Structure 1
Amino acid sequence: MKYIYLLVLSVFVVSCGNKQENKEEIKPKPLMTLVQSHAKTAPVLPTFYDEVKDWKYLKEVDSFFVKYQKISPNEALSNAVELKDLVKSLKDSLKPKKFDIPSVNARINILYNEVLRLADITEISAIEAAEVNNQVDKTMSAFSDINTKINTVLAKIRFENEIDIDVDFIGLDSTRLDTVSKKSIDLRMKEKLIEKNNLDKGSRKRQ
């Protein structure tokens, strides 16, 4: 009888131990569920909205990043694959001509690489919350760089469209201007030349 009692007691102790282990296994990591605030991505300036309003995938990625401003590591990882697909569409799709330039494309590629890293760490079971939060920050920063570059490109084009003198006279190195800039300046100078010729013709007729 004594041996039977000891056997039952041993089975009970082992059973309780297994249940405790199972509870520890399924217990979520508290830090992975804590909502973390991240800096907003830099926007395209309101004055340039019309220039990007038809750029579908840029707008979709921009909207998607809103949910990343306050998000837990677990939620960030669960949304990573969808974000990766959106950024891939942004990278592979046709872009507005003025933005299909090396400086913008390079920043889109950097964003895609950061999103790939975020998606890859979903496969790492031992990932720490701090690592996920850090990668979210890098990814959002990469998108900010795209918008900032878009603002710079558009501001440059606007400036070039407003100048009234040859670039040589204002110290710009024309050999270092990108294709979009050169075309903008050339077009503006041609327009000025046509205006001047028309004025000259009008003056001669009046004489």
Structure 2
Amino acid sequence: MSKIPTRQEAYNLLTTYTENPSLLIHAKAVEACMRYYARKHGENEEKWGVIGLVHDLDWDKFPEQHCKKTREILESENWPDEYIRAVESHAYLTCTKVVPKTTLEKTLYAVDELTGLIRTTALIRPSKSVLDMKVKSVKRNWKNKRFAAGVDRTVIERGAEMLNIEIPDLIHDCIEAMKEVAEELELKGNL
């Protein structure tokens, strides 16, 4: 029988496999967005947050085995298959064929790439903060493919479509979520 992991257990596992500070910040940003959306949808915030936190568990040490290695690790830790499937679904069409089906899975898919675009936008602002950021700041950089070049905008668009949400609304919600943990994300800036 699988066990329900706590946030601390998830974080300990994450830091076992992830040393890169940027990846740890990314994991926390995705966790924040997942928690925000869990509250918005009246879902289990701890569950959504934990899944967001470990979604890239294998990326630092096993990028060529992304999601496959995470499945192995989480299975060996006796995590619920529902959690493992959700993590796999975030890499739909890039590393896996696991289609996001639940609202949790679709949300993880939609917010993952977007957190990187928001973070990069915040860091080029005079304040270097997410706390005073508006949707238009992110939208201004959306079409510039050289800006945050690693961010796949089509994944964000596909995720928003899956959730039946407009991109500006998705950006707004993720900014609000990231504001809640701005200090942890090193995005408090100089306000």
Same fold (TM over 0.5): no
TM-score, structure 1 length as denominator?
0.23
Give the helix-richer structure, 1 or 2: 1
Bigger Cα Rg: 1
TM-score, structure 2 length as denominator?
0.24
